[in-house]
Amino acid sequence: MQALTAASHSGDAVERGPARPAGQLPATLTVVGFVALGLLALPIVGLLQRAPWTALPSLLGESAVLEALRVSLVVSVSAAAACVVLGLPLAIVLARRRLRFPRIVRAVVMLPMVLPPVVAGTALLFALGRRGLVGQWLEEWFGVSLPFTTAGSVVAAAFVALPFFVVTVEAALRQAGDELDEAAATLGAGAWATLAHVTLPTIRPALAAGTALAWARALGEFGATLTFAGNFPGRTRTLPLETYLALERNPEAAVAISLVLMAVALAVLVTLRDRWMPR
Amino acid sequence: MTVSFDGRVARSGWTLRVDGLDIDEGVTAVIGANGTGKTTLGRAVAGLDRLADGRLEIAGSVADDPAASVFVPAHRRRVAMVFQDLRLFGHLRVIDNVAFGLRRAGADRAGARRQAGALLERVGVDSAAWPRRPAALSGGQRQRVAIARALAPEPEVLIVDEPLASVDSSGRAQLRSLLGDSPARHVILITHDPVDVATLAERVVVLDGGAVASRGSAAEVTASPGCEWAATFLGANVVPGRAHGTSVTTEGGLVLAVAEEAAGAVYVTFPAHAVTLHRDRPAGSARNAWQAELRRVDVDGERARVHLGGPVAVKADVTRRSADELDLRPGLTIWASLKATEVTVVT
């Protein structure tokens, strides 16, 4: 109590002083904090504890799993590529242009991050489905129909993954500022040369991180894919869909696939940590 | 060939207004207190800021004229800039930083690196540093790299914003001589250093409150500086000499005691108000005293600026009252004194 009074007398001494000794933290807070940590860690432990380690190779070698793995790789890599191609210009516009309604634009960009994936899938269906807003013209003019195709899975995965790439890259662009771009201009570099030789190399770690995040999100996509692209083996049945189905048929296979997906997610996190830290 | 600037640059909250400024070939120093628009002037010439109205011509061609919808972008202007914060490319090696402009102008990698190497040698960056990243270099070395990078594409105009601020003292003389015979036909030197003005500038532009307060040769601007800040700044004495320990022998043979130790060719600077004048040989703490011939007295309000000849040309500021009391007039021989602690030695 005495320390607190003294601190408040000397203005901002509380903020500037060293961190409080742990003894001053309410004990309840610490306990609840560790309960929360347990909530996060428990499912991982549960999965590891149920892991059929010896049967793992044969479970993962099942043709249905291999098929889903192939679809998942095609879909997630294509979606990540789409995120880079579409997301990079969007991130640059967001970071460098003065927009009319920045809050609204930003909300639109972030929406897929908080939208329930099933809602995202439904929305996609009404926009790009056969009788959707744009979908009917795609069908009529190009004979293209997205729902229930691999391309549809890619669209669904890209839709939910895009904000992860855009937000990461935009933050890096803002942090880098346009000082180096100006320097490049005074040295005779036009807009494209500046982008290629200065801007993008400067934010390379963020480009890698954004791509990895978007890919990981696309790999795990379930709800939007199921709603918009369906569940057709060899075409739209990805690993998460296969996991869900396997849970009824063969729980051990579900655990095996889950382990693989979790290992991938952890690997992405570890690489990101390396990429994020400036060398 | 000139850079002619006539117009306004609007920044958030304030405006730089330049009425008919012609910047001729050679080195032009732009001086002024902080926030008077020096950097904005440079940025507008470089094409990083647009004119709100008016007209900017560089070497006979219009670079910016909003009324005629003409704006030549920065990368087509042949105006290079050494930024105050340097802005070296962190992802490129030192040699490739310097080669950057040459590559953009179409040189192949090997040719650009060869030229870049030659330039780095000229500015005094050791070849061991060429393959390293700028972050691995000292502040002074980075500054040299920035100057070499700006000179590489052989710009028509070179703008140097606070050029020697972070250079270690040993390199200043070398960089000064480099800027002095820069291949760029126009050098615009934004500076806070009286030595830069005294040793490099053929012309001086004084900015005050977002407008040109004075312009002309160093002597002309010193005679009518246009604002208090510039009067003080231009009142600084800059005297070349050779240092040995804590004394400096000026070119006129006068030996000045100084507070800092140094060796070799140096400049000593001291403000005009640090020089005091006496009818008789002064006694007391000022160890530096010499007899000088009084050449001219400029009276400006309550201040009198006294120009002294003799062993060394020096300006001294005294109050008008003491000028009257000492009965100062040209031709008089008078004692001048200067405290060692008022003298700054610049190597």
Dihedral, CA of residue A147, residue A151, residue A155 and residue A161, to nearest 10: 140
Domain endpoint, select from B185, B212, B234: B234
Look at residue A271 in the predicted model and tell me its pLDDT: 80
Confidence of residue B266 (pLDDT cuts 50, 70, 90): confident
CA distance A3 to B102: 64
Tell me how close the Cα of A178 comes to any Cα of chain B, in angstroms: 10
Nearest residue to B30 (alpha-carbon basis) of B180, B200, B150, B203: B203
Tell me the three-class secondary structure of B244-312, residue by residue. EEEEEEECCCCEEEEEEEEEEEEEEEECHHHEEEECCCCCCCCCEEEEEEEEEEEEECCEEEEEECCCC
Nearest to B104 among A193, A202, A204 (CB): A193
pLDDT: which is higher, B12 or A84: A84
B150/A187 Cβ within 8 A:
yes
A187/B87 Cβ within 8 A:
no
Tell me how close the Cα of A176 comes to any Cα of chain B, in angstroms: 11
Task: State which residues form the domain around A71.
Answer: 56-276
Nearest to A186 among B74, B92, B105 (CB): B74
User: Which site among B82, B98, B104 would you substitute to test the A interface, given the most A Cβ atoms closer than 10 Å to its Cβ?
Assistant: B104
Q: What is the DSSP letter of B83?
A: B
A202/B74 Cβ within 8 A:
no
Tell me how close the Cα of B78 comes to any Cα of chain A, in angstroms: 7
Look at residue A10 in the predicted model and tell me its pLDDT: 42
Look at residue B170 in the predicted model and tell me its pLDDT: 61
Instruction: Tell me the two tokens of residue B255.
Output: 């030996």
Q: What is the DSSP letter of B342?
A: G
Q: Residues B34, B132: one domain?
A: yes
Look at residue B194 in the predicted model and tell me its pLDDT: 81
Tell me the three-class secondary structure of chain A, residue by residue. CHHHHHHHHCCCHHHHCCCCCHHHCCHHHHHHHHHHHHHHHHHHHHHHHHCCCCCHHHHHCCHHHHHHHHHHHHHHHHHHHHHHHHHHHHHHHHHHCCCCCHHHHHHHHHHHHHCCHHHHHHHHHHHHCCCCCCHHHHHHHHCCCCCCCHHHHHHHHHHHHHHHHHHHHHHHHHHHCCHHHHHHHHCCCCHHHHHHHHHHHHCHHHHHHHHHHHHHHHHHCCHHHHHHHCCCCCCCCCHHHHHHHHHHHCHHHHHHHHHHHHHHHHHHHHHHHHHHCCC
Q: Please list every residue in chain B whose beta carbon sits closer than 8 Å to the beta carbon of residue A201.
A: 89, 91-92
Numbered residues of chain B with Cβ closer than 8 Å to any chain A Cβ: 46-48, 73-81, 83, 85, 87-92, 100-101, 104-105, 149-150, 152-153
- Asked whether residue A187 is assigned to any structural domain, the reply reads yes
Q: Residues B97, B245: one domain?
A: no
- Asked whether residue A6 is assigned to any structural domain, the reply reads no
Task: State which residues form the domain around B101.
Answer: 2-234
A202: domain CATH number?
1.10.3720.10
Is pLDDT at B166 greater than 80 in this prediction? no
Q: Residues B106, B24: one domain?
A: yes
Confidence of residue B164 (pLDDT cuts 50, 70, 90): low
Is pLDDT at B278 greater than 80 in this prediction? yes
How does pLDDT run across B222-257, given as a tens digit for each residue?
878 888 888 888 888 888 899 998 889 998 889 998
A202/B150 Cβ within 8 A:
no
Q: Please list every residue in chain A whose beta carbon sits closer than 8 Å to the beta carbon of residue B145.
A: none
Give me the mean pLDDT over the B212-218 stretch. Answer: 90
CA distance B94 to A206: 23
CA distance B231 to B227: 6
Domain endpoint, select from B234, B250, B281: B234
Confidence of residue B163 (pLDDT cuts 50, 70, 90): low
Look at residue A21 in the predicted model and tell me its pLDDT: 59
ipTM score? 0.82
Q: CB pairs below 8 Å between A and B: how many?
A: 67
Give me the mean pLDDT over the B113-125 stretch. Answer: 93
Give me the mean pLDDT over the B277-281 stretch. Answer: 88
User: Which site among B72, B98, B100 would you substitute to test the A interface, given the most A Cβ atoms closer than 10 Å to its Cβ?
Assistant: B100
CA distance B338 to B85: 36
Give me the mean pLDDT over the B327-333 stretch. Answer: 89
- Alpha carbon of residue B326 to chain centroid: 35
Q: Residues B157, B280: one domain?
A: no
Tell me how close the Cα of A100 comes to any Cα of chain B, in angstroms: 18
Report the residue of chain B nearest A191, measured CA to CA: B75
Report the residue of chain A nearest B90, measured CA to CA: A202
* Angle, alpha carbons B330-B332-B333 (nearest 5°): 135
Give me the mean pLDDT over the B149-159 stretch. Answer: 94
Q: Residues B192, B282: one domain?
A: no
Please state the length of chain A.
Answer: 279
Tell me how close the Cα of A188 comes to any Cα of chain B, in angstroms: 4
- Asked whether residue A128 is assigned to any structural domain, the reply reads yes
Tell me how close the Cα of A161 comes to any Cα of chain B, in angstroms: 28
Q: Residues B274, B185: one domain?
A: no
Count of the separate structural domains present in chain A: 1
Count of the separate structural domains present in chain B: 2
User: Which residues does chain A have with pLDDT short of 70?
Assistant: 1-23, 274-279
B109: domain CATH number?
3.40.50.300
- Asked whether residue A14 is assigned to any structural domain, the reply reads no
Label the pairing between strands B53-58 and B2-11.
antiparallel
Q: Residues B242, B278: one domain?
A: yes
Is pLDDT at B258 greater than 80 in this prediction? yes
Q: Residues B208, B243: one domain?
A: no
Tell me how close the Cα of A275 comes to any Cα of chain B, in angstroms: 15
Q: What are phi and psi of A74, to 5 degrees?
A: -60, -50
Instruction: Tell me the two tokens of residue A195.
Output: 């982008």
B75/A186 Cβ within 8 A:
yes
175-234 in chain A: CB under 8 A from chain B: 179-180, 182-190, 193-194, 197-198, 201-202, 204
B335: domain CATH number?
2.40.50.100
Report the residue of chain B nearest A185, measured CA to CA: B75
Confidence of residue B336 (pLDDT cuts 50, 70, 90): very high
